[in-house]
Structure 1
């Protein structure tokens, strides 16, 4: 039986609360990779609602890699939520126009850049990702975590503010996994290695080296 196409919106027969997210996105500032799925207790349409403060005038993007797992209630807070911090007041006078239109002349609101979620990242129930955060490949973000800083690849993270609880593997293994970058393989090769991808990491890396040798 062929592998399901990443262009399938609802990959589980008869179940419409899990979708391959790329096929649902209709916002020019959101990019999602193949096979990344979103699961929602109510409706997958909630994903767009949970990307907060994403405005065209801020120009920032939410970029999510391939093969990610996004649980119900995950929120992405984008740069449109930022206010002035060093000024006398944080109030956004200029957005209301009129005689306040020039209040931000020669100034700009703070921006921390794009929010980037790597490949093979698991975002747990109701995790919140703040603006400009980069989450490394293979990381696991625990339920209710509030991610306020960049996360290294293959980290297990939890808390508010979130902290790295431990790496998933040792440094050498992580380096090898990043070099292999299995998520960029052709789908035929991913399929051939599927049983290894769900198994022991040392055995997987050994088989990859033998296959490439």
Structure 2
């Protein structure tokens, strides 16, 4: 079983890296990652993925020391329903971008909608739907995600200063 798990990790990481515009050192994927051809995705150093789909037009920038649970969905862009030439929406597509800073942890089954910034040290709880920016060191959860509380910022900064990643 251990050999199968290592092979799966190797293949998933290989597929991930070939879908990225840029990536840092020590980037790995334990499960399959699917990135649409229209999405431009870059990833920093020491990032771990556990199953993700990035769909639509736009860009995703993920910082260093990012970790995710399983089954993450990032939706970039949306159809123009206000000024479209057809119902329910027109053929034009509005690209959107997502920025995820350093030291962010995203739980399983999370949906992130475009034009969102998840700031440094944030934690997104399992099953959340993120449609607005998340402040630094905030712990958010729910549909739509709201601030539950904040990390101990002094402890976070101490660990960061000591290089405890």
- TM-score over 0.5 (shorter chain): yes
> Which residue does the alignment assign to 2:16?
24
Alpha-carbon distance in structure 2 between the residues aligned to 1:62 and 1:35? 17
> Which residue does the alignment assign to 1:37?
48
Q: Is the 8 A contact 2:63 2:103 kept in 1?
A: yes
Q: Secondary structure at the match of 1:24?
A: helix
Would the alpha carbon gap of residues 66 and 21 (structure 1) be closer, same or farther in structure 2, given more than 3 Å must change? Answer: farther
Greater helix proportion? 1
> Which residue does the alignment assign to 1:66?
64
Alpha-carbon distance in structure 2 between the residues aligned to 1:147 and 1:127? 8
Alpha-carbon distance in structure 2 between the residues aligned to 1:121 and 1:21? 20
Greater strand proportion? 2
Q: Return the index of the structure with the highest Cα Rg.
A: 1
Cα deviation digits, residues 151-190 of structure 1 (max 9, x gap): 00101010001111111126xx38x83xx894xx8xxx73
Structure 2: which 5+ residue stretches go unaligned? 22-39
Q: Is the 8 A contact 2:124 2:140 kept in 1?
A: yes
1:110 pairs with one of 91, 94, 98: 94
Shift of 1:83: 1.6
Alpha-carbon distance in structure 2 between the residues aligned to 1:22 and 1:137? 27
> Which residue does the alignment assign to 2:79?
83
Q: TM-score, normalised by structure 2?
A: 0.70
Would the alpha carbon gap of residues 39 and 109 (structure 1) be closer, same or farther in structure 2, given more than 3 Å must change? Answer: closer
Q: Does 1:145 align with 2:128?
A: yes
Would the alpha carbon gap of residues 142 and 25 (structure 1) be closer, same or farther in structure 2, given more than 3 Å must change? Answer: same
Alpha-carbon distance in structure 1 between the residues aligned to 2:54 and 2:134? 19
Q: Does 1:53 align with 2:53?
A: no
Q: Secondary structure at the match of 2:135?
A: coil
Cα deviation digits, residues 130-150 of structure 1 (max 9, x gap): 001100111110111000100
Shift of 1:129: 0.6
Alpha-carbon distance in structure 2 between the residues aligned to 1:70 and 1:120? 11
2:139 pairs with one of 146, 149, 156: 156
Q: Is the 8 A contact 1:144 1:159 kept in 2?
A: yes
Supply the RMSD in Å over aligned alpha carbons.
Answer: 3.0
Would the alpha carbon gap of residues 77 and 142 (structure 1) be closer, same or farther in structure 2, given more than 3 Å must change? Answer: same
Q: Is the 8 A contact 1:18 1:38 kept in 2?
A: no
